[in-house]
Amino acid sequence: MMKKKIKTALISVSDKNNLKPLLNILKKNKIKIISSGGTYKEIKRLKFNCLEVSDFTNFPEILEGRVKTLHPKIHAGILNKREKISHLKDLKNNGFENIDLVIVNFYPFENTLKKTKNHKKILENIDIGGPTMVRSAAKNYNDVAVITSPDQYEELIQELKKFKGSTSLNFREKLSRIAFTETAYYDSVISNYFNKKTNTIFPRKKIFHGNLIDQLRYGENPHQLSAIYSRNSNMNLKQIHGKQLSYNNYNDIFSALTISRSLPKGKGTVIVKHANPCGVSAKNDHLESYKSALSCDPVSAFGGIVSCNFKITNDLAVELKKLFLEVIIANGFDSNAIKILNAKKNLRLIDGTNYTSEELFKFVSFNQDIMIQSEDLNIFAKKNFKVVSKRKPTSKQLKDLIFAFNVCRYVKSNAIVLASNEATVGIGSGQPSRLDSCQIAINKMKKFNLQTDNLVAASDAFFPFVDGIEKLVQSGVRAVIQPSGSIRDKEIINFANETGTVLLFSKTRHFRH
């Protein structure tokens, strides 16, 4: 077990919560306490004996407290190998003593970033001494225990009770692993702050950090391990009902939220299945919006996820209850809606009111390799598109075309979206052939009897041949929006003019793989 007796502890914490139970166990085991600054004052306020760091080192704090624990007596006391004769001689010759327990948590750099943009204040909240002591103790875990969070106090207390003031090697090694993770996380936040401040998008070395939100039951399939992490301590997604979320649930939730947040504030319903939208509507009336999104593909919606860009009330809850759904996301639920939907025991209800998309980059990993790209978050306006046909769109057609093009960029490529009255009526996704995607979208529309005189179509990339747009026009499409860039763009324009079809070109392509 390699138990090590603790005789001296150094405590320096920014988070001063729950110190009393810890101090009680240290006192009971006659452990000497060294501390400094606000921690020293708090320990004295709690009426426990404590030696100030400057008295321990016989060296005053200098540089407004920037240098206090960065002293050979501190680090030699932590880092020395207790069983190595040369180390013992060095300590004796310099009048140093062992420090067996280090309890440190860092200046709240991450919280400071949330509170201020003042660079000078941010710099002053970069902890130097704390991480240095933690790294020293973690390296020498064979002899020293290191605590980096109040969450660990109870475990330390139980360890000291169990081994009568000593700690076991397994315990110290576990604490060391956690400590190095804490210092790495802390430094990664600082690194990312400086990259952001200097507008360094792709630094030579990229550091990622995240907090474990949940260890999921499994991944996409039962034989795969899975967990979800967030840059925040929580994801600002509040689950208010239902069983644990799965990997696939989260994948669909993020897809649904991305589309929802691209729609006008306070309106819009999105239904997602396997990370693809199967129905989207931006109608003003919330109940009508849901029914319209559902009608696009009620078969695929079964077992899907609904995301509402508004608060769900009684009438909509009654409709939602009729369909088997995995997850419903909304900007809140009124009490009647919760009561109605809670009747479905396994249905997950997610309040996404506080969810924000702060990070503008997307990560895709394979084995040891990671690709990063900026997200496709362009806000579309009339100026982004050029009418290239002789026939000009009506204001209604233009609105529907931009709506369809916006939805299209969130559909897996190759993507075709048919829409009318700001609602999808047919979606073709994920096909190697754009012509096949056209046919799927048309088939969906016909299957659910959604043909209309006001039909528009959007494509996520250009039509390489006339056959795609021809198929759409033959199905009743009166206006088409697509990116330009094909060597046959003129042929597409000529076909539009020959058939009296409205044609708009976008300068940007919108693949989503």
Distances (CA, A) of 351 to 84, 236, 241, 264, 497: 58, 9, 10, 18, 48
Q: Tokens 């979320």 identify what position?
A: 245
Reference 387, options 463, 501, 498, 476; nearest CA is: 501
The total number of residues shown for the chain amounts to 513
Tokens of 505: 């070109």
Residues labelled catalytic: 139, 274
Coil, strand, or helix at residue 122?
helix
2: left (phi over 0), alpha (psi -120 to 50) or beta: left
Tokens of 33: 């306490």
Domain boundaries, the chain: 4-197, 236-351, 382-506
Q: Which CATH number fits domain 236-351: 3.40.50.2000, 3.40.140.20, 3.30.465.10, 2.60.120.680?
A: 3.40.140.20
Helix 37-45, helix 19-28: angle, nearest 10: 70
Reference 63, options 109, 128, 107; nearest CA is: 128
* Domain 4-197 CATH class label: alpha beta
- DSSP string of 420-441, one letter each residue: SSSBEEEEE-S-S-HHHHHHHH
The neighbour count for residue 61, using CB atoms within 10 Å, is: 16
Coil, strand, or helix at residue 10?
strand
* Percentage of the chain exceeding pLDDT 70: 99
Taking 70 as the pLDDT cut, the residues of the chain under it are 1, 358-359
Domains 236-351 and 382-506 share a fold: yes
Which CATH topology does 382-506 take?
Cytidine Deaminase; domain 2 (3.40.140)
Question: CA angle at residue 324 from 321 to 325, to 5 degrees?
Answer: 90
Tokens of 136: 């020293």
CB under 8 Å to 311, separation ≥6 — which residues? 330, 331, 332, 333, 334
Q: Write out pLDDT tens, residues 19-31.
A: 999 999 999 999 9
Given this model, what pLDDT does residue 1 score? 58
List residues bridging with 87 in a β-sheet.
none
Alpha carbons 47 and 49: distance in angstroms, whole number: 7
* DSSP 8-state symbol, 30: T
Distances (CA, A) of 495 to 117, 386, 389: 55, 17, 9
| Residue 184 backbone phi and psi in degrees, to 5 | -65, -45
Residue 8 and residue 97 in contact, taking contact as beta carbons nearer than 8 Å: yes
